[in-house]
Amino acid sequence: MALKLLNIIQRYPPALGGSEIYFQKLSEFLASKGHSVSVWTSNANNLESFWATNHPLLPCAKESINSVKVRRFKLFHIPLQRLVLKIISKIPIRTLQCLTFSHNPIMPEMLKLASRCDETFDAVHAGCFPYAYPIYAAMKLAKIKKIPFLLTPFLHLGNLDDPKNRIRKGYTHPALLMLAKNADALFAQTEFEAQTLEDLGIQPKRIHLQGMGVDLQSCTKGNSAIARKLWQSQPSDIIVGQLANLSWDKGSTDLLSAMEILWRRGSAARLVLAGPAMPSFEKAFRSFPFKDKVIRTGPLSSEEKKDFFASLDIFALPSRSDSFGIVLLEAWANGKPCVVYKAGGPGSLVKHASDGLVVPCDDINSLATALEKLILDRKLSEQLGAAGNSRIVKEFHWEQKFHVFESALKSLV
């Protein structure tokens, strides 16, 4: 049974991000199975484009990408946008809050089309929290068309030992929960996220445990020699790496602080940070005393990403704001051990002392100790990386994950 699905997401590739990649792979998988798939998204290339006008934008256009019909809507900006929206969003009207959260991509044309769309769909699927504006548009369209509304929230749950942490509080805001409770199906990435959704009042029968996969061709068989030469590193150097939107949320600033502890002890390890930098990271890096020991690559091309993972010895993602962490799978696919905080998806995904090391969230000294342990004990590092690699074959196939979604979609329609 071929279906007609509309996916709505805050950004779509070539914009970089975990949820963006997931929606692309899901859309293209369903299209390859004979379904008609459309995507509505913003013309943002990076997250800061949502509220700032001095960042590059993608063309507002309709295009077909690998049999998926993609439409990018123009972002709307006003002076002092974040401040103005923050004030308005304090008004306790849930619909108003969904549309005025200060981090939202504001797209009036999308909301207008959701109310008056002539095209027919069998279902609409949206993501992800905390970007409520496009999700609200999806919910509105589903109600008007009387079709199923599916949601992949990608809940960021922060410190798993602190249920009142500010990240979890933000991602479980009453306005966001209103969207979740209106969904006919929700897709969770970990058992912990699924249980949290249930604890928040979502009916268990609506929750589908899915998880993420990894595309081995996109991240393996890189050339370590090329990257290390570019980084002016020797083959014997121990390299710790991170690939993320560099920020406090992703733990990039904590990683700097942890490596500073090791460098003050005389460690010869080097740190490579890949990905775009957010303001919180730039602020911390300006006064960082060991800039010469940090290699910043910026965003990576597909080939550069392969070389990046091939060149690492340790992958670190002390993130507070990941619902899963596809980059951890990419590190494991290359046999690299992972060090994470006990927070969100990574804290649930990595098995401590089995395929990586999990340390208490916000504990920079423990993070430094874990990194030092793997830097000094190369045998342990290789064992943990090999254990993670063995999980890839058994647990993380995209097709397996997408069948969970397709099955739920067909049952609803």
Please tell me whether residues 139 and 284 are part of one structural domain.
no
Which single residue is written with the structure tokens 């995209």? Answer: 398
Instruction: Determine what percent of the chain is predicted with pLDDT higher than 70.
Output: 100
CB-CB contact of 250 with 244 (8 Å):
yes
Query: Which of 247, 315, 312, 240 lies closest to 275, judged by CA?
Result: 247
DSSP 54: S
**160, pLDDT greater than 90:** no
One domain for residues 92 and 27: yes
Residues 205 and 255 in one domain: no
Reading phi first (left if > 0) and then psi (alpha if -120 to 50, else beta), residue 335 is in: left
**Domain range for residue 136?**
4-213+397-412
Cα 120 to Cα 109: distance, rounded to the nearest angstrom: 18
* CA-closest candidate to residue 342, choices 353, 331, 330: 353
Q: Which two tokens stand for residue 134?
A: 């496009």
Per-residue confidence at 17, pLDDT binned at 50, 70, 90?
confident
pLDDT class for 379, splitting at 50, 70, 90? very high
Check residue 163 and report its DSSP letter: T
Is the model's pLDDT at 89 over the cut of 90?
yes
Helix, coil or strand: residue 56: coil
A 10 A CB-CB count for 59 gives 8
Q: Which of 35, 45, 41 is nearest to 61 (CA)?
A: 41
Q: Is 71 helix (H, G, I), strand (E, B) or coil?
A: strand
Q: Are residues 276 and 295 in the same domain?
A: yes
Mean pLDDT throughout 235-239?
94
DSSP string, 291-348: GGGEEEEES--HHHHHHHHHH-SEEEE--SS-SS-HHHHHHHHTT--EEEESBHHHHH
CA distance 103 to 247: 15
Q: What confidence score (pLDDT) does residue 1 get?
A: 82
Q: Are 125 and 153 in contact (CB under 8 A)?
A: no
What pLDDT does residue 372 have? 98
> Do 384 and 250 sit in the same domain of this protein?
yes
pLDDT in tens, 211-222: 999 989 989 999
Contact indicator for 197, 188 with CB cutoff of 8 Å: yes
Fill in the amino acid letter for 348: S
Cα distances (Å, whole numbers) of residue 363 to 270, 288, 319: 21, 19, 12
What is the total count of domains within the chain? 2
Q: Are residue 235 and residue 321 in the same domain, yes or no? A: yes
Average pLDDT of span 62-79 = 96
CB 338 within 8 A of CB 316: yes
CATH number of residue 114's parent domain: 3.40.50.2000
Distance separating alpha carbons of residues 197 and 195, to the nearest angstrom: 5
Same domain, 176 and 221: no
H or E element that contains 167: helix 166-171
Rounded Cα gap, residues 74 and 267, in angstroms: 49
Give the helix/strand (H/E) hosting 199.
Answer: helix 191-199
CA 106 to centroid of chain Cα atoms: 20
Q: What is the pLDDT of residue 187?
A: 98
Same domain for 154 and 88: yes
Confidence of residue 321 (pLDDT cuts 50, 70, 90): confident
User: What is the spatial distance between Cα 340 and Cα 348, in angstroms, rounded to a whole number?
Assistant: 10
Residues in the chain: 413
pTM: 0.89
Cβ pair 214, 396 in contact under 8 A? yes
195 lies in the same domain as 245: no
**Which residue is associated with the tokens 């990905």?**
275
Please identify which residue in the block is written with the tokens 């401590």.
Answer: 352
Q: State residue 75's pLDDT score.
A: 97
Round to whole Å and give the CA distance between 285 and 152: 34
Q: Are residues 37 and 118 in the same domain?
A: yes
Could you check whether the bond before residue 128 is cis, i.e. omega within 30 degrees of 0? yes
Q: Which among 367, 333, 160, 343 has a CA at the least distance from the CA of 260? A: 367
AA letter at 115? S
Q: In the predicted model, is pLDDT for residue 311 greater than 90?
A: yes
Question: Sorting pLDDT into bands at 50, 70 and 90, what band is 26?
Answer: very high
Kindly indicate the confidence band of residue 39, based on its pLDDT and cuts at 50, 70 and 90.
very high
Give the pLDDT band (50/70/90) at residue 163: confident
Average pLDDT over residues 354-370: 97
Task: Evaluate the CA torsion angle 187, 192, 193, 199 in order and state its sign.
Answer: positive
The string of DSSP letters for 372-388 reads HHHHH-HHHHHHHHHHH
pLDDT band at 249 (very low <50, low <70, confident <90, very high): very high
Do residues 179 and 243 both lie within one domain? Answer: no
Compute the average pLDDT of residues 250-257: 97
- Both 161 and 243 in one domain: the answer is no
116: tokens are: 């008056």
Is-contact 101 132, C-beta < 8 A?
yes
Radius of gyration of the chain (CA): 21
Kindly indicate the confidence band of residue 18, based on its pLDDT and cuts at 50, 70 and 90. confident
- Alpha-carbon distance of 185 to 125, in angstroms, equals 9
